[in-house]
Protein backbone atom coordinates (compact mmCIF):
# COMPACT_ATOMS: atom_id res chain seq x y z
CA UNK A 1 0.00 0.00 0.00
CA UNK A 2 1.48 3.33 -1.01
CA UNK A 3 1.70 6.24 1.37
CA UNK A 4 -1.00 8.88 1.09
CA UNK A 5 -0.02 12.42 0.08
CA UNK A 6 -1.17 15.71 1.52
CA UNK A 7 -2.98 17.96 -0.94
CA UNK A 8 -4.77 21.29 -0.55
CA UNK A 9 -7.58 22.99 -2.43
CA UNK A 10 -8.99 26.49 -2.05
CA UNK A 11 -12.49 27.84 -2.42
CA UNK A 12 -13.58 31.50 -2.31
CA UNK A 13 -16.55 31.92 0.01
CA UNK A 14 -18.86 34.94 0.19
CA UNK A 15 -19.58 35.09 3.90
CA UNK A 16 -17.90 36.16 7.09
CA UNK A 17 -15.34 33.90 8.75
CA UNK A 18 -17.63 33.70 11.80
CA UNK A 19 -20.53 32.24 9.83
CA UNK A 20 -18.26 29.88 7.89
CA UNK A 21 -16.65 28.71 11.15
CA UNK A 22 -20.00 27.54 12.52
CA UNK A 23 -20.46 25.28 9.46
CA UNK A 24 -16.96 23.78 9.84
CA UNK A 25 -16.68 23.23 13.57
CA UNK A 26 -20.06 22.22 15.00
CA UNK A 27 -22.02 18.99 14.56
CA UNK A 28 -25.08 21.01 13.51
CA UNK A 29 -23.11 22.98 10.92
CA UNK A 30 -21.35 19.91 9.53
CA UNK A 31 -24.67 18.11 9.23
CA UNK A 32 -25.91 20.91 6.97
CA UNK A 33 -23.45 20.04 4.19
CA UNK A 34 -20.84 17.41 5.05
CA UNK A 35 -22.77 14.36 6.23
CA UNK A 36 -26.36 13.23 6.59
CA UNK A 37 -26.04 13.05 10.36
CA UNK A 38 -23.35 14.26 12.76
CA UNK A 39 -23.32 13.50 16.48
CA UNK A 40 -20.74 14.26 19.14
CA UNK A 41 -20.08 12.24 22.27
CA UNK A 42 -17.17 12.88 24.63
CA UNK A 43 -15.13 14.66 21.96
CA UNK A 44 -15.71 12.06 19.24
CA UNK A 45 -17.77 13.05 16.20
CA UNK A 46 -19.80 10.39 14.38
CA UNK A 47 -20.50 11.10 10.71
CA UNK A 48 -23.18 9.07 8.94
CA UNK A 49 -23.99 8.98 5.21
CA UNK A 50 -27.15 7.16 4.18
CA UNK A 51 -27.53 3.82 5.93
CA UNK A 52 -23.76 3.24 6.24
CA UNK A 53 -22.12 2.73 9.61
CA UNK A 54 -20.82 5.91 11.20
CA UNK A 55 -17.28 7.10 10.55
CA UNK A 56 -15.73 8.54 13.69
CA UNK A 57 -13.31 11.45 13.95
CA UNK A 58 -11.78 13.61 16.63
CA UNK A 59 -10.57 17.19 16.63
CA UNK A 60 -6.77 17.24 16.73
CA UNK A 61 -6.32 21.00 16.91
CA UNK A 62 -8.23 24.20 16.34
CA UNK A 63 -8.04 27.96 16.56
CA UNK A 64 -11.48 29.52 16.57
CA UNK A 65 -12.43 31.14 13.26
CA UNK A 66 -9.02 30.21 11.76
CA UNK A 67 -8.68 26.44 11.41
CA UNK A 68 -9.89 23.08 12.65
CA UNK A 69 -8.09 19.79 12.06
CA UNK A 70 -9.91 16.46 12.26
CA UNK A 71 -8.57 12.91 12.24
CA UNK A 72 -10.58 9.87 11.23
CA UNK A 73 -10.09 7.31 13.98
CA UNK A 74 -9.47 4.55 11.41
CA UNK A 75 -6.60 6.46 9.73
CA UNK A 76 -2.93 6.63 10.75
CA UNK A 77 -2.10 9.38 13.26
CA UNK A 78 -0.19 11.46 10.71
CA UNK A 79 -3.23 11.76 8.41
CA UNK A 80 -5.94 14.37 8.93
CA UNK A 81 -8.28 16.71 7.13
CA UNK A 82 -8.28 20.39 7.90
CA UNK A 83 -10.47 23.39 7.21
CA UNK A 84 -8.57 26.69 7.28
CA UNK A 85 -10.19 30.09 6.89
CA UNK A 86 -8.08 32.87 5.43
CA UNK A 87 -8.74 36.24 3.87
CA UNK A 88 -7.10 37.77 0.82
CA UNK A 89 -5.00 40.86 1.53
CA UNK A 90 -6.33 43.14 -1.19
CA UNK A 91 -10.04 42.32 -1.39
CA UNK A 92 -10.44 40.85 2.12
CA UNK A 93 -12.36 37.94 0.56
CA UNK A 94 -12.88 34.86 2.71
CA UNK A 95 -11.13 31.74 1.41
CA UNK A 96 -11.65 28.18 2.65
CA UNK A 97 -8.52 26.05 2.34
CA UNK A 98 -8.98 22.30 2.70
CA UNK A 99 -6.06 19.99 3.37
CA UNK A 100 -6.54 16.24 3.12
CA UNK A 101 -4.66 13.03 2.36
CA UNK A 102 -5.17 10.64 -0.56
CA UNK A 103 -3.28 8.08 -2.59
CA UNK A 104 -1.41 9.78 -5.44
CA UNK A 105 -3.68 8.23 -8.07
CA UNK A 106 -6.82 9.21 -6.14
CA UNK A 107 -6.15 12.92 -5.54
CA UNK A 108 -8.21 13.97 -8.57
CA UNK A 109 -11.23 11.92 -7.40
CA UNK A 110 -10.84 13.14 -3.82
CA UNK A 111 -10.67 16.74 -5.05
CA UNK A 112 -13.86 16.23 -7.06
CA UNK A 113 -15.60 14.87 -3.96
CA UNK A 114 -14.54 17.94 -1.98
CA UNK A 115 -15.75 20.20 -4.81
CA UNK A 116 -19.15 18.51 -4.64
CA UNK A 117 -19.26 18.89 -0.84
CA UNK A 118 -18.21 22.56 -0.99
CA UNK A 119 -20.87 23.24 -3.62
CA UNK A 120 -23.41 22.03 -1.04
CA UNK A 121 -21.77 24.20 1.65
CA UNK A 122 -21.91 27.29 -0.58
CA UNK A 123 -25.58 26.57 -1.30
CA UNK A 124 -26.32 26.34 2.44
CA UNK A 125 -24.41 29.59 3.03
CA UNK A 126 -26.29 31.34 0.22
CA UNK A 127 -22.91 32.12 -1.30
What are 55-109's pLDDT values in tens digits?
999 999 999 999 999 999 999 989 999 999 999 888 889 999 999 999 999 999 9
CATH superfamily of 7-125: START domain (3.30.530.20)
Task: State the Cα torsion 126-17-41-59 to the nearest 10°.
Answer: 130
Cα–Cα distance, 73 to 79 (Å, whole number): 10
Helix H or strand E segment including 51? none
| Residue 89: predicted pLDDT | 85
Cβ atoms within 10 Å, residue 10:
12
Confidence of residue 2 (pLDDT cuts 50, 70, 90): low
**Among 127, 126, 125, CA closest to 29:** 125
Amino acid sequence: MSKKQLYTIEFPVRCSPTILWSFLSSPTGLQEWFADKVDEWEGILSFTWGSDAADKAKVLDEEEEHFIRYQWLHNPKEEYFEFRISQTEISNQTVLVISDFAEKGEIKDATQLWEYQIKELLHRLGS
